[in-house]
Structure 1
Amino acid sequence: MPFDPQLPFTWRQARDEGIPQRALEGTQYRRLVSGIYVAAAPPGKDGARSRSAIAYIEARAALLVAGPHAFLSHHTAARLYGAIVPDVPVLHASVAPGRRRSRHREVVVHQSRRSPATFRGLRITTPEEVFLDLATHLSLVDLVVLGDSLVKRERTTPERLVTEMQQATGHGIHPARRAAALVRTGVDSPMETRCRLLRVLSGLPELETDVRFYGDRDELLKRLDAGDRPTRTAVEYDGRQHIERKDQWEADIGRRETFENEKWRIVTLVSKDIYVTPGLTVERLAHIFRQRGIHVGPLRDEWQRHFPGRPTAAEAKSA
């Protein structure tokens, strides 16, 4: 294959192509991991690489280090599929048992009996195998975020995840089965997942996910993150991006007024409600649900292990 600096290449390949070390260390190239480089993205906003392109480049770098028999797995495979996983400082690949494993401090090479699939021309574990492999690396919430994002990218379905986890065995199967049962269709963001899991783990009603309203010609008119149609009660997450763009802000105002005219009660959650004061959020939602006629059973405290919260500035001063 002809040398292409837009794809990852080794230090030796650079030397063979006459690229000096000082050039590799300059602005023309980017170091991916030790000994592996790629041409830098063109300057300027328009020249920045997309998240998908970065995932592909990092995936090729992992395979370049791991060797010709390797395949992508774990976090690196998840990112190539376009799914959401926490940032980690290393890339991941796997090889079959008995194959030589590369020792590289920035590329972890696992042993795996998986039969790899192919995606974007690269050998990789299936989305369901990625989900199972990461069950021992991620928290329950992050694992459900992964599952929801795999479904959003149409790499799998909630039903397929549940079926695959029920049939699978081995390390991590119990958290994987529980997380698979909590994966849903129609989730737009990780924060929507976190809002839903705060309700579920506290014993509050889950509500219908991705509530959609269609017109006479089956055209989508509007949607809500989660809601209860009989009582016209909804819970939505509102991120910072919604107020940074004027057109989005104005559209949200008009949309909210439409729902209010139809007697909907929309409870809006922001980052602080999930990360800083989740306990108050549970109490607030329970109160509003009861007011609106939604049955709320006994609350549970499991949410505290997954949403520990942080003290507010006032609480920190009084502690």
Structure 2
Amino acid sequence: MSSPTVLAPFRLCDVDGGPSVLRSMRRRHRMLFQGVYVDRTVALTTELLARAALLASEPDSYLSHHTAARLWGAVVPDSPDVHVTTPGLRSKKHGIAAHRVKAGQRVVTWKGLRVTAPGQTFLDLAHRLGLVDLVVLGDSLVRAGRVTVDELVELTAGRCGPYSTSARRAALLVRKGVDSPMETRLRLLIVLAGLPEPTVDHRIHTRDGVLLYRFDLYYAAARHIIEYDGKQHEKDRQRRSDILRDEQFDAWRLRKVVTVADDIYGVPGQTLSRICRAMREQGMTVSTLSDEWRRHFPSRGDDVSNPG
């Protein structure tokens, strides 16, 4: 190899030439992993780092866990390393998280990369993620069109071994039509508190089939909407549209609770109190809440409201 493709990572050991050529290569390229380089002008994407990590790994290795999830367009917590499953002993290389091959793992080829299949990625991460993050992963895999809810449920049913129970429970909580990870978290806050599960992605159309409104979460019988607002009404036009929409909701006797990030990450207890109060106002019966939500949604010190 005398001249590596500019946009592709390469191993320095594959470059032909003497010491002066190698010194020049090092000046014009950045090292991604030990012995693996890329042109300094190339953007470091998940796909590029994945290709480089496989070059730095032993043959028959494949991408897995967090890296596989990101390649499939799913949402997982940040990880500083590229995750590679490798046969034999796991080598320790800076920037690469190595995992051992497990019997029965399903591996496919995507854009020339060997990577765990979407459902297999979900199973593998059941060992690494908590319930909420695992459902976020499942919802986002479904949204990306990589797997269906039924396929995840079937894949996890009847499995045994460590974390199989977690995988099954998470799969049963995955839903189609979830628009964002925060919508997943909001729904799970409600469900893990023991409240009835609202309908996801409820839509109202005109008689001609034109979409009028989309509700994140909805209790149809009680006419109760729960939404996550990630935009914070940054534009006046959007704010005016929301005001007109809310006036229409008032005319329809719809009750709406709007949440933002801090309502879920900071004061989930107060958020549940608001939701329960709105439920009662809409005629719903609210029983004593389960405390399970507290395990998954830690509160700040000022979250003093008692949601029950």
TM-score range, shorter chain: 0.7 to 0.9
**CA distance in 2: counterparts of 1:296 and 1:272, whole angstroms:** 24
Q: How does 1:24-39 map to 2 (within 5 A)?
A: 24=29, 29=30, 31-39=31-39
CA drift of 1:117 comes to: 1.2
Q: Which residue of 1 aligns with 2:277?
A: 287
- Which letter maps to 1:284? R
CA drift of 1:214 comes to: 2.0
Contact 2:82 2:96 in 1 (8 A): yes
**CA distance in 2: counterparts of 1:120 and 1:293, whole angstroms:** 53
**Unpaired stretches in structure 1, ≥5 consecutive residues:** 43-48
Q: How many residues in Structure 1 have an aligned counterpart in Structure 2? A: 297
Residue of 195, 207, 216 corresponding to 2:198: 207
| Gap change, CA 1:244 and 1:7, over 3 Å in 2 | farther
Q: Which residue of 2 aligns with 1:298?
A: 288
| Gap change, CA 1:208 and 1:13, over 3 Å in 2 | same
1:124-153 Cα offsets, whole Å, 9 max, x none, are: 111111111111111111001100100110
Contact 1:65 1:102 in 2 (8 A): no
**Does residue 220 of the first structure (1) align with residue 211 of the second (2)?**
yes
Residue of 143, 148, 153 corresponding to 1:152: 143
Q: Which residue of 2 aligns with 1:110?
A: 99
- Which letter maps to 2:9? P
**CA distance in 1: counterparts of 2:287 and 2:41, whole angstroms:** 54
**CA distance in 2: counterparts of 1:224 and 1:290, whole angstroms:** 20
**CA distance in 2: counterparts of 1:33 and 1:242, whole angstroms:** 40
Contact 1:77 1:125 in 2 (8 A): yes
Contact 2:200 2:218 in 1 (8 A): yes
Q: Which residue of 1 aligns with 2:83?
A: 92
Q: Which residue of 1 aligns with 2:243?
A: 253
**CA distance in 2: counterparts of 1:247 and 1:37, whole angstroms:** 48
**Does residue 170 of the first structure (1) align with residue 175 of the second (2)?**
no
Q: Which residue of 1 aligns with 2:28?
A: 23
Q: Which residue of 1 aligns with 2:184?
A: 193
**Partner-residue secondary structure (3-state), 1:141:** helix
**Partner-residue secondary structure (3-state), 1:66:** coil
**CA distance in 1: counterparts of 2:248 and 2:194, whole angstroms:** 30
CA drift of 1:232 comes to: 1.3
**Partner-residue secondary structure (3-state), 1:284:** helix
| Gap change, CA 1:297 and 1:76, over 3 Å in 2 | same
| Gap change, CA 1:57 and 1:256, over 3 Å in 2 | farther
| Gap change, CA 1:268 and 1:74, over 3 Å in 2 | same
**CA distance in 1: counterparts of 2:16 and 2:233, whole angstroms:** 49
**Partner-residue secondary structure (3-state), 2:85:** strand
| Gap change, CA 1:5 and 1:216, over 3 Å in 2 | same
**CA distance in 1: counterparts of 2:286 and 2:33, whole angstroms:** 51
**CA distance in 2: counterparts of 1:33 and 1:259, whole angstroms:** 56
CA drift of 1:15 comes to: 7.5
**Partner-residue secondary structure (3-state), 1:293:** coil
**Partner-residue secondary structure (3-state), 1:212:** strand
CA drift of 1:20 comes to: 3.3
**CA distance in 1: counterparts of 2:234 and 2:35, whole angstroms:** 40
- State the percentage of identical aligned residues: 43
Residue of 46, 54, 61 corresponding to 1:55: 46
Contact 2:33 2:93 in 1 (8 A): no
1:207-264 Cα offsets, whole Å, 9 max, x none, are: 111111122233322201001122211100111x343344444443343333333221
**CA distance in 1: counterparts of 2:115 and 2:238, whole angstroms:** 38
| Gap change, CA 1:246 and 1:93, over 3 Å in 2 | farther
**CA distance in 1: counterparts of 2:122 and 2:238, whole angstroms:** 34
CA drift of 1:120 comes to: 2.6
| Gap change, CA 1:41 and 1:301, over 3 Å in 2 | farther
**Does residue 65 of the first structure (1) align with residue 56 of the second (2)?**
yes
| Gap change, CA 1:6 and 1:253, over 3 Å in 2 | farther
**Partner-residue secondary structure (3-state), 1:244:** coil
- Which letter maps to 1:10? R
**CA distance in 1: counterparts of 2:194 and 2:97, whole angstroms:** 39
Higher mean displacement: 190-199 or 273-282 = 273-282
Q: How does 1:125-140 map to 2 (within 5 A)?
A: 125-140=116-131
Q: Which residue of 1 aligns with 2:268?
A: 278
Contact 1:94 1:110 in 2 (8 A): yes
Contact 1:242 1:248 in 2 (8 A): no
Bigger helix fraction: 1
Q: RMSD of the TM alignment (CA)? A: 2.4
